Structure 1
């Protein structure tokens, strides 16, 4: 999973993760259209192929249709990206990241209370 995925590939992965199970090509196209993305069929096929090549998806043939199954969960991807950001921007300093979130008013009051509750409760 050490390969980066593009924003377009991430849009597709979010649809597949939200499906909570295998996603059919038609479902992916419908979900993209609902988000205002009118991509051509060949574009989506190419993006799905790239995601398979990068190890994020596998395709299973069901009759004449492909089912797309995530090989990486959304949580695993988020954790990977968070660690990457933490290392790249904050040199691994979690305190620096959290301080920045708080001091820059990037957290709502509710998010701050939830974060504080998590920190007070420990692991």
Structure 2
């Protein structure tokens, strides 16, 4: 499964929130002002459908779209690719980057330790 482009991701984030919708619903949910043209969003949705991210139910010539992949499934895929591509498959490198670059507070670090300890016990 391919990584989403920025425009595809914007549309998917809306579809994940709406659960299903017509192109006009997606356009209305976009925060853009002015709104993008109908044909632009329609093209993005058709690409998502072609790439098996989105399915549809036809009502004559009108289509109602819905996600075929959950946000959680995509997050897992994207995260694995990000860790592999940018951190050489090293979660230690990722965590080190987060701690250094995000300037975590002692409270944040404590919460991370708690999460790790809770998940070790599971």
Q: Is TM more than 0.5 here?
A: yes
Q: Contact 2:23 / 2:38 at 8 angstroms: preserved in 1?
A: no
Deviations 1:36-91 (A, max 9, x none): 36211111110000000111001111355321110111111111111001111111
2:28 pairs with 1:30? yes
2:86 pairs with 1:79? no
Structure 2 partner of 1:98? 95
C-alpha spacing 1:111/1:27, structure 2 compared with 1 (3 Å):
farther
Structure-1-length-normalised TM-score: 0.85
Structure 2: any 5+ residue segments left out of the alignment? none
Structure 1 partner of 2:52? 55
Tell me the distance in 1 between the aligned counterparts of 2:75 and 2:54.
16
Structure 1 partner of 2:3? 4
Other structure's SS at 2:4 match: coil
Please identify, of 103-112 and 43-52, the stretch whose mean Cα deviation from structure 2 is larger: 103-112
In the TM superposition, residue 13 of structure 1 has moved relative to its aligned partner by 0.3
Tell me the distance in 2 between the aligned counterparts of 1:9 and 1:50.
8
2:117 pairs with 1:120? yes
Please identify, of 4-13 and 105-114, the stretch whose mean Cα deviation from structure 2 is larger: 105-114
Structure 1 partner of 2:12? 13
Tell me the distance in 2 between the aligned counterparts of 1:36 and 1:106.
34
Backbone CA RMSD of aligned residues: 2.0
Figure out how many residues of one structure are paired with residues of the other and give that number.
120
